[in-house]
Each structure stands twice: as C-alpha cells, then as structure tokens.
Structure 1
Amino acid sequence: MAAASVTVVLWASAFVSIRDAGAHYSPGALALGRLLAGSVALGLLLLIRREGLPPRAAWPGIAVSGALWFGVYMVALNWGEQKVDAGTAALVVNVGPILIALLGGWLLKEGFPPMLMAGMGVSFAGAVVVGLSMSDGGSSSVLGVVLCLVAAATYAAGVVGQKPALRYASPLQVTAYGCMVGAVLCLPFAGQLASELGEAPASATLNMLYLGIFPTALAFTTWAYALARTTAGKMGATTYAVPALVVLMSWLALDEVPGWLTLLGGVLCLAGVAVSRRGGIRRRPQVAAVVDAPAQTATEDAR
C-alpha cells in the first residue's frame, strides 16, 4: 500500500509538471527527455544494487511494457493533451484502468471480483464528473480523442504485459529496462529535443528532469513493486485516486480553485478506490514446513 501510494502521488504531480514543460517542449521531445533522465537514474540504481540483466523469460514482458507504456503512451498522451481540453483527456485516459481490469481478468486469469468492478464503476463516475467540470466545451478534436484512446489502450496493455515479467525479474530490473526500451524507441525525437533544449526556459527543463527522476524512475519502480504483490486490476483501480490528487495539487501549486462539481468528482474517485481495494493487497503465501513422513515415523519408533 505504501508503494502504491507513492506511485499515485508522484503520477498526480506529473500532470502539474507537464503543464509547464509541455508548453516549451514538443510531445516527442518531452517524452524522450523524460525517459533519458529516468534511464540514467535507474541505471545508477542498477549499478549500486549490482543487478544485472533480467532473465530471458522476463524480456517479452519488459519489451511489451517498454514499447507500449514507456514509449507510445507517453508520446500519445503528451500530444493528445495539446489537442483536447483537460476534461476530455481525463475522461478518455481514465478508460485505461477499466481496460486493465478486463485484460487482467481475461489474459492473466485474475477473474472479475465484484467489489473491484463496483469500485471501478464508482471511480469512473467520479472521473466523468471531474472531466465534465474541467471541460471548456470547445477545444476538443477527433485527433486528440484518438490519441488519448491510444494512450489509454497502450497503458493498459503495458501493465498487463509487465505483470508476467515480475515473476522472473525484480521490480527495478523490469522498470529500468522497460524505461530504456521506451527511450530507444523515442530516439527519432532526439533532433527536436536538442533544438528545444536551447530555447526552453530553465523551469521547463527542470520539470522535464523531475518527470524523469520521480514520476518515472521512482514511481514506476514502486508501481512494479506493488504490482508484483497484487493483481493488475486492483493496481489499475488505485490510479483512480490520481484525478482527485491532481485537483488538490493544482489548487495548492497553481492556485486553480476547484468548483463544487470537481470536488464531488474527486470524492467519488477516492470512494471508488476504497471500495475496489477492500481486502487489501494480497500477501505472499507462507511456505509451510514439510516433514518427511518416513523420517517422522522412524523418530516416533525410536521414542
């Protein structure tokens, strides 16, 4: 729960940082800069902890999550938020946790627990309320909606692909090499990043570095740690707390006072997360001691 909470708070803070960095960096350049910063930070952690390459069995999941979640998702989300208003983006991207629950129940055989599905329904209703309260009603485009749908779909597919990899590799390995895969796929944007670095203000560049080190390197690692100990569906439902935290952080950091409808939506998001998390994070089963029957019988005979 602590790891999941760190992830949710840092991912919420990312929306505030993207507001500044996205005004001075193009979507691909921002994604590449963020992933390069995250890869450096995660690479240093790998060296410090002396963790080498993941086992071969983990690479399919790492490749899928790296390409879809770290790569396509970040570019599509950055681009989509430039084409649609914040409310529409929030509505469309929040389809992602529902897709995670459906794909996890089907592909990962996690099933469809009633409390999880009920909680996700409440949280999605809250996300709808937040989205409607933030919508400006006139800046949405078909391309922007499609890009946000791509972001939601690749986010869900990346999470479901990452889950099996955590059976064979550590959360740090899965996150680090997934981030590096995403950075490699974003290298075609290197020219844009180089040219925009010289023109962007220091605050935008610092926000890009913050995005790479904290919401990417740290938050994705704590996410993987928690995902290894619970189901993909429950972890996806946890991210419905992000809209509520974004509203609070925007209020504190950007002086954007939320209306009563926005606050109501945030409360619904948190209530849905509480419902979906009933039962807590699944603990790893205790390994029972196995006593050899013949040896036990011999001991009893000796007595």
Structure 2
Amino acid sequence: MLDRLVAESDTIWSRLRIEAAETARQEPLLKSLLCVLVLNCPSLESALARLIAGKLAAPLLPEEDLYGPALQVCQRARGLGNAVRRDLLAAVERDPACNSLVHPFTNHKGFQALQTYRIAHELWQEGRRSLASHIQARASEVFGVDIHPAARIGTGVFIDHATGVVIGETSVVADDVSMFQDVTLGGTGKESGDRHPKVERGVLLCAGAKVLGNVRIRVGAKVGAGSVVLGDVAPYTTVVGVPARPTARSRQDDMLHWQPADAASLAIDSLCLPKV
C-alpha cells in the first residue's frame, strides 16, 4: 500500500496541500502557519526544509540560515523525498488517531524528529559533521528525541509519541519499523565500534523497550513494553520482560503493523542505505 501511493508522489504532495487548505478554512487561526509550512511552498521537499528550519531555529542560528542548507539537502539527497513520503503514509496507516497527512506533518514530533535526522544524516555523509551534530543536539532539545546522524534508518518508519527515543550511532533500522516513546537502541557501555542494535523490517518496539548492544531484532518481531533486550530476537517472535524472553511466535500473515514484503528484501544486510 505504501509503495503504491509513494509511486504517485505528486499525488501525496497534492493531497497534503488540499488537506492544509481545508484545515486553514476550518480553523482560520492556523491559516498563516499552514501558508508558510505548506501552501506557499512549491514542493514537499521545500515544505520540509521550511518546517525543520523553523523548528530548530535559535537566536544564534536563525531560521533563514538553516533553511538554505536544509533545502539543498532535501533537493539533492537521493531517496530522501521517497523516505519522507513513506514516513508520512506510515503515520496515517498505523496511527488510529491520525486521519490526514497534514496532521503528522505539522504536529507529530516523531515524524518531525525523524525528518530532522534524515537531513542531519545527509550532512554527516557529506562530511559536514559539526553542523550535523548541532542539528542533532537541537532536535534533542526541541523534540525530546536523540537520533545520532550516523545511524542508518530505512523508510516507512513510524515513531509514535516519540518522547525519550534514543537511537545510537551504529544502529541500523530497516523499512517499516514502528516504535513508541522511550525506546532506546543503545550500547551496553562495554563495547566500542559497531555496538548498537540492528532492527530488521517490520519490527514493533513498544513503549519503553531497551535494546542494548550489537544485537539483531529479526524481521517481524515484537518487543513488549518495558522490556530489556540483550540478545538476538528470532523472526516473528514476541519477547517481553527483563531480560526479554520469547512468549509467542506470530504467523507472518497475522502481523498487524507491517505489510509483508519479498523475502529477499528482509535481511538487514540488503538495506540500500549509505554506509557509515
């Protein structure tokens, strides 16, 4: 479903503009905001750059100074536009409280923090690591979400509520992953180098889940709320507890938060993401 709609990317941008216009009509107090963030922008990429620059602006680094680099990244980064569109659609499809594209775009800090990461990641890859690190720090202050710009994150990712989410430097998150507030993809404190989790496609990380160390959460697995994962989790397995242990095995066609994909694309090693 996501991929079919993303293929119609102009439709997504048009839908976002139509929804923004209708929201402005229904709530005139938001008209100026929606004009700046959506209606006066020529593309989704420019709207995203305006959104992120406005969110992260500070007295010593004003919005217009951030907007230029953010827009350049959004326009030239291969695959970023597709990622933004898949993330938007994921929010609408997986959040029962969300019935429009304009709502996550303008209001959801999980979506906004993830897109901020995407811009910072591109800057990191380009060697502009001081700016990328500053953007990470500001995003942590503004959204309460700390995603290292060197982490590798796929598309169609949904971060609900988002407060307290931490994703470490060598983490890898595949497509179609969902996570809730207070999730940590961290190290154990006893390792260096490649020391963070690898989360495969379609995984669900519930509120407060802590995944520590260079472990793998295999395709379609679920980690229960408040669980602490210190070892690999098998595909389509639910784990809970401290330390987390398996409780059930789910059939692939029973997964509610993920649409199954071709098996060849499920392995974390096949992610078409830039190398750190």
**What TM-score do the two structures reach when normalised by structure 1?**
0.27
Indicate the structure (1 or 2) with the bigger Cα radius of gyration.
1
Higher helix content, 1 or 2: 1
**What TM-score do the two structures reach when normalised by structure 2?**
0.29
Higher strand content, 1 or 2: 2
